[in-house]
Amino acid sequence: MGIDFDKALGVHPDALRLRAERTRILAANIANESTPGYQARDIDFAAALHRSAADDDAGGLSLDTDGPADALYRVPNHPSQDGNTVELGSEQAAFSQNSSDFQTSLTFVNMKIRGLAKAIAGQ
């Protein structure tokens, strides 16, 4: 019986990819902090997870990060006159939280790989 690496690693590689994608979107929001008319975007991670869980029937979850529908527009707390919806404080907080989540997913993947290595070595 062979080891299916995709199944063995579970949802974590997909979560890691989604976190990296979200980093890019948040970096773009921070970059366009002073661009008039720029509308901040974000991924709803929980919704993406739920949607793929509902679609999927064969156990492992797969997150679809390709579709443009995944990146939604942020609703600003205080709309500004120039039409820019970036609020630097919340973007920085989201960016910081997201990079911690990235490290968490990375740690999970590492743990899975260590487990697999042990199984392969037969310890």
Q: Which residues bind another protein (CB under 8 A)?
A: 20-21, 23-25, 27-28, 30-38, 41, 66-68, 70-71, 88, 92, 95-96, 99, 102-103, 106, 109-110, 113-114
Q: What residue type is assigned to position 104 of the chain?
A: T
| Residue 109 DSSP label | H
**58 versus 78: smaller Cβ distance to another protein:** 78
**57 versus 66: smaller Cβ distance to another protein:** 66
**4 versus 59: smaller Cβ distance to another protein:** 4
What is the closest distance, in whole angstroms, from the C-beta atom of residue 13 to another protein in the complex?
10
Rounded CA separation 9/67 (Å): 23
